[in-house]
Amino acid sequence: MSNPMQTTSPTFVGMPKFPKAAKKALGNTQQRRNLAHATGVIRAKRARVVGEVPEWEALRLAGAQAKDETLGHLAAYLEMLEANLARNGAQVHWARDAEEANRIVVGLVQAKGAGEVVKVKSMATQEIELNEALEAAGIHAWETDLAELIVQLGHDRPSHILVPAIHRNRSEIREIFRREMGLVGRPAPDDLSDEPRRLAEAARLHLREKFLRATVAISGANFAIADTGSLVVVESEGNGRMCLTLPETLISVVGIEKVLPSWQDLGTFLQLLPRSSTGERMNPYTSIWSGVHEGDGPQEVHVVLIDNGRTHVLADPVGRQALRCIRCSACLNTCPVYERAGGHAYGSVYPGPIGSILNPQLRGVASEVDRSLPYASSLCGACFEVCPVRIDIPSLLVHLRAKVVEAADGTTHEARAMRAMAWMFGDHRRLEAAQRAATVGGRVLGDHTIRHVPGPMGPWTGARDVPHLPTQSFRQWWAKRERKGGAR
Amino acid sequence: MTTDVDPAVRQGRSAKDEILSRIRAATPDVTSPVGARGAAPRVEQPASSRAETVELFVENVEDYKAAVVRVAPDGIAQAVADAVRDVGSVVVPGGLDAAYLSAWPGAVRRVSDDGLSSADLDAIDGVVTTASVGIATTGTIVLDHGPGMGRRALSLVPDLHVCIVRTSQVVHDVPEAVARLAPGAVTGGGHVGPQTWISGPSATSDIELDRVEGVHGPRTLHVIVVDDG
C-alpha cells in the first residue's frame, strides 16, 4: 500500500489548469511589470554573491549529500531529533496530515488561553492553512513578516516563496496599509508615502504592540539539527527574533524533511541558503534555539513534525530529491515561465519550478492543475543550474510528465493525435491524401495567419499561431519536377 | 485525508509510529547504513592572512551599512561612550566588563538587566554587548548569549545595538564559526545555548526587492572592533 498523499487545501480546490490561470495572469500588465523588475534585481544579486565563492559547486554537492543522507535514513534521524529536542526540554508532536497538525496547534494555543498568536513566516503553516484553522477556532493569527503582512492585510494569496507579495508594487502596498492597518491594530500614519523606508516603518509601528502583547508564537524552521536538537530560523527583519524570543510559548511546525544530520552541516547550509535566496552573503538574522533556555526566551517550547504527503514523495526513488528543497526560491527567480505567469497560476503555496515538481508529488495528479504543472516549463534547465541542493528539476519534470500520461491511460489529445499520425504515416496513399488536403488549405488561405482553431487543437493554438500551410508538398514538387524531366 | 475515520480513533494510533513506518516502507532501495557519508564535509574559502581576514570582516560589516570603528584595547571605553552619547537610555547585560563603561557619558541613563519586561526594554534606546565570533566572508557577528551578551531580548528590542568584537574572535569563513560554536565548544556539555547570528541592522527586501535597513530589530548597529592581536 502506498503512503497517503496530501489533500488539496480548500483554498486551491478547483484551481484551473496552469495554462488557463497563466493566461489570465499574463493579461495583468502591472503584475508582469512588478515581477520582471523584482526577479531581474534578485537574479543579478544572486549571481554576484555566488560568483564570490569559488567552491560553490563543492558546496552544492555537500548540501545535496547532507539532505540525501537524512532522506535515506529519515526514520533514524527523526528519532534522534526527537530524543535531543526532548532532552533540551521541548515537547515533540507528530502529525500525519494537515488536519492533525492544525488540531494539535489549535489545542496547544487554546490550552494557553490565548486569543491571538504572532507568526513567523513559514511555508509549512501556509501549506496546512493553519491561519484558517486558528481563525475558525476564534484565534487571531498575526503574520509578522512584511510581505506576509502585505498579503494578509490585502486579503490576498502569496505568489512567491521568499517574497510572497512580489506581485505588489510600492503604491499598492501603501494603499493596503492605509486601508487595512487601522482595522486590526495601530493605523498607518496619515502622511504615509510609498517610499519603502516609510512603509517598513509603518509595519514596525503596527506590529510592535502585537510583539509586546502576544503570549504565544508560531514558527516554522529552516533546519532541524538531529544531533543537537536545535531549530534554525533564517530571516531578515527581526520579526522572527521577536516571535522566537518574547512570547512565553513557542510552537514550531516543521516538515519531516527539514532535518539535517549534524550541527557541522550548518556550515554548508548557512553558506548556500542566503546567497541563493536573497542574494546576500548572509541574511541579517539567524536564530538558533535548542528547546528551552532557562531565563531566556519561551519557557514552553513545542515542535510539531508533519508528514502531509512527504512520505508519498519519499517513496519515489527518482522524485525523492525534491525533498532536498530548502525553499530558497532561486528557481522561481530564474524561471522564464514564473517571471511571466507569476506565482498564483501554480495553484499552491509552492509556485515556480519547485512547485511544478513538488505539488504533483505531494498531492498526486488527480486534479487539473496538478496534472498540468509538469508541463509548465520549457525545460530550459536554468532551475537546475541555480538550485543550491542540485535538484534536477528538468529531469523530474519529464519523469512526472510520464506519470501524468500513464495516469491518463492513452485518453489524452496527444495520445489520440499520435495514433492518428501513426495510421496516416503507415500507408503512402493516406499520407498523400492528407498532404493534398493540406496544400488545398494552403492555397485557399494564402498569407492569412490562423490564430486560433476550435476543437482538440484549441489549447495548442491558445498561445501560438498555426504555421502557414504550404501550397505544395515535397512529394508534389518532386513528382512535378520528374514529369518536367528535371534539371540534373 | 481519510475523513471516514473518527479523529479520536486516529489519535489512538500513534502518529509517530505511523509516520516512521511510512518512511521505512518508502525507502527499501536505500542500503547504505546511517552515517555512511562520514562527517559533514567542510567546504570553506581559504584565508591568506590574519590581517586580510580582519580587513575583510570590517569591509563586509560596513557593506551592510553598520557603523564600524577600530580601536586598541585601551580605547574601548571611549568608543562605547561615543557610540551611546546621542541616546537617552542604554541597557547593559550582566557580565559586561566594567572597564568598558568607565568613560560613560553622564547624560545617558544606564540600566542593568534585572528581569526587565519586554515593555521595559521597549522604552530603552540602546544596548551594549560583546560577541562570541565574527565571520569575515559574510560580515557576521554571532552572539551565544553568554556573559556580556545577555538574554536574546536585550539585543533585539532597543533600537541601537553597540557590539564589541575582538579581532581574535574573527574567523575567516562560516564552517570555522560553526565549529567554534558547536555545542561541546560552547558549554562543554551537550546542550547548545541559544545563538543569534547578526549581519548588519535589520533589513527587508519585501517591497520590490529594494533593500531597506531597519524593520523590527535594531535599526542601528554600531560595531567596535578591538585589535587584540
- Measured CA angle at A275 (ends A281, A346), to 5 deg: 150
Select from B39, B173, B216 the Cβ nearest to the Cβ of A207: B216
Which phi and psi (to 5°) does residue A375 adopt?
-95, -5
Q: Which of residues 51-110 of B touch A (CB under 8 A)?
A: 60, 63-64
Rounded to whole angstroms, how far apart are CA atoms A112 and A109? 5
Q: Taking CB atoms and an 8 Å cutoff, what residues of chain B touch A169?
A: 208
Q: Supply the pLDDT for residue B185.
A: 63
Q: Taking CB atoms and an 8 Å cutoff, what residues of chain B touch A244?
A: 152
Select from A103, A147, A208 the Cβ nearest to the Cβ of B206: A147
By the CB < 8 Å criterion, does A103 face chain B?
Answer: yes
Which range, of A76-80, A279-283, B156-160, B204-208, averages the lowest pLDDT? B204-208
Q: Taking CB atoms and an 8 Å cutoff, what residues of chain B touch A211?
A: 118, 216
CB pair distance less than 8 Å for A263 and B10: no
Kind and range of the H or E run holding A207: helix A196-213
Assess contact for A159 and A339: CB atoms under 8 A. no
For residue A327, which of A218, A221, A168 has the smallest C-alpha distance?
Answer: A221
CB pair distance less than 8 Å for B209 and A38: yes
Give the sign of the dihedral formed by CA A429, CA A431, CA A432, CA A437.
Answer: positive
User: Whats the size of chain A, residue-wise?
Assistant: 488
CB pair distance less than 8 Å for B22 and A307: yes
Q: Supply the pLDDT for residue A486.
A: 60
Query: What angle, 0 to 180 degrees and rounded to 10, lies between the N-to-C axes of helices A266-277 and A29-51?
Result: 140
Rounded to whole angstroms, how far apart are CA atoms A453 and A107? 55
**Looking at the DSSP assignment, which residues form a beta bridge with residue A231?**
A224, A289
Mode of pairing for the β-strands spanning A230-235 and A223-225: antiparallel
Q: For B92-145, what is each residue's pLDDT tens digit?
A: 999 999 999 999 999 999 999 998 999 999 999 999 999 999 999 999 999 999
Average pLDDT over chain B reads 91
Listed in order, strand segments (DSSP E) in A373-484 are none
By the CB < 8 Å criterion, does A381 face chain B?
Answer: no
CB pair distance less than 8 Å for A270 and B197: yes
Positions in chain A short of pLDDT 50? none
For A367, how many CA atoms within 13 A lie in the half-sphere containing its CB? 24
For A88, how many CA atoms within 13 A lie in the half-sphere containing its CB? 31
Q: pLDDT band at B13, cuts 50/70/90?
A: confident
Mode of pairing for the β-strands spanning A285-289 and B195-198: antiparallel
Residues B155-183, mean pLDDT to the nearest whole number: 96
Rounded to whole angstroms, how far apart are CA atoms B206 and A159? 12
Q: pLDDT band at B10, cuts 50/70/90?
A: low
For residue B19, which of A358, A315, A125, A7 has the smallest C-alpha distance?
Answer: A315
User: Whats the size of chain B, residue-wise?
Assistant: 229
The nearest CA of chain B is from the CA of A372 a distance in Å of 23
Select from B24, B29, B209 the Cβ nearest to the Cβ of A75: B24
**Looking at the DSSP assignment, which residues form a beta bridge with residue B221?**
B161
Rounded to whole angstroms, how far apart are CA atoms A328 and A409? 36
Assess contact for A374 and A400: CB atoms under 8 A. yes
- Mutation site for B-interface testing, chosen from A48, A71, A232, A270 by largest number of B Cβ within 10 Å: A270
- Per-residue burial over A77-95, b = 16 or more CB atoms within 10 Å of its CB, e = otherwise: bbebbbebbeebbbebbbb
Rounded to whole angstroms, how far apart are CA atoms B156 and B218? 6
CB pair distance less than 8 Å for B192 and A263: yes
- Mutation site for A-interface testing, chosen from B209, B210, B212, B219 by largest number of A Cβ within 10 Å: B209
Kind and range of the H or E run holding A63: helix A56-72
By the CB < 8 Å criterion, does A196 face chain B?
Answer: yes
Per DSSP, the residues of B84-126 read: HTTSSEEEE-TT--GGGGTT--TTSEEEE-SS--HHHHHT--E
Residues B57-79, mean pLDDT to the nearest whole number: 97
Q: Supply the pLDDT for residue A421.
A: 86
Which phi and psi (to 5°) does residue A430 adopt?
-65, -40
Cα→Cα distances A305→A95, A256, A360, Å: 6, 6, 22
- Per-residue burial over A175-188, b = 16 or more CB atoms within 10 Å of its CB, e = otherwise: ebbeebbeeebebb
Residue corresponding to grid cell 496552469: A18
Q: Which three cell numbers stand for residue A355?
A: 512547485
Q: pLDDT band at B187, cuts 50/70/90?
A: low
Q: Which three cell numbers stand for residue A24?
A: 489570465
CB pair distance less than 8 Å for B216 and A34: no
CB pair distance less than 8 Å for A98 and B1: yes
By the CB < 8 Å criterion, does B148 face chain A?
Answer: no
Rounded to whole angstroms, how far apart are CA atoms A393 and A195? 38
Q: Which residue of B has its CA nearest to A196?
A: B207
Q: Which residue of B has its CA nearest to A77?
A: B34
Per-residue DSSP letter, B108: S
Cα→Cα distances A144→A117, A200, A359, B1, B31, Å: 10, 12, 26, 30, 44
Q: Supply the pLDDT for residue A217.
A: 98
- Three-state SS for A400? helix
Q: Supply the pLDDT for residue B2.
A: 43
The nearest CA of chain A is from the CA of B193 a distance in Å of 7
By the CB < 8 Å criterion, does B138 face chain A?
Answer: yes
Query: What angle, 0 to 180 degrees and rounded to 10, lies between the N-to-C axes of helices B15-26 and A74-87?
Result: 150
Q: pLDDT band at B1, cuts 50/70/90?
A: very low
Non-local CB neighbours of A86 within 8 Å, separated by 6+ positions: A92, A229, A291
| First vs last C-alpha separation in chain A | 69
Rounded to whole angstroms, how far apart are CA atoms B219 and B158? 9
Rounded to whole angstroms, how far apart are CA atoms A481 and B14? 80
CB pair distance less than 8 Å for A267 and B178: yes
Per-residue DSSP letter, A238: S
Rounded to whole angstroms, how far apart are CA atoms A84 and A227? 7
Q: Quick one: A57 exposed, middle or buried, by C-beta within 10 A (0-12, 13-18, 19+)?
A: exposed
Bigger pLDDT: A413 vs B53: B53
Q: Supply the pLDDT for residue B229.
A: 75
- Please count the other Cβ atoms lying within 10 Å of the Cβ belonging to residue A397: 22
By the CB < 8 Å criterion, does B208 face chain A?
Answer: yes
Which phi and psi (to 5°) does residue B12 adopt?
-60, -40
For residue A210, which of A300, A297, A269, A143 has the smallest C-alpha distance?
Answer: A143
| First vs last C-alpha separation in chain B | 62
Assess contact for A97 and A8: CB atoms under 8 A. no
CB pair distance less than 8 Å for B119 and A196: no
- Please count the other Cβ atoms lying within 10 Å of the Cβ belonging to residue A435: 17
By the CB < 8 Å criterion, does A242 face chain B?
Answer: yes
Q: Which three cell numbers stand for residue A385?
A: 543550474
- Domains of chain A by start residue, with CATH: 28-311 (3.40.50.10420), 413-483 (no CATH)
Cα→Cα distances A20→A24, A27, A373, A374, A487, Å: 7, 11, 12, 15, 52
Rounded to whole angstroms, how far apart are CA atoms A292 and A224? 15
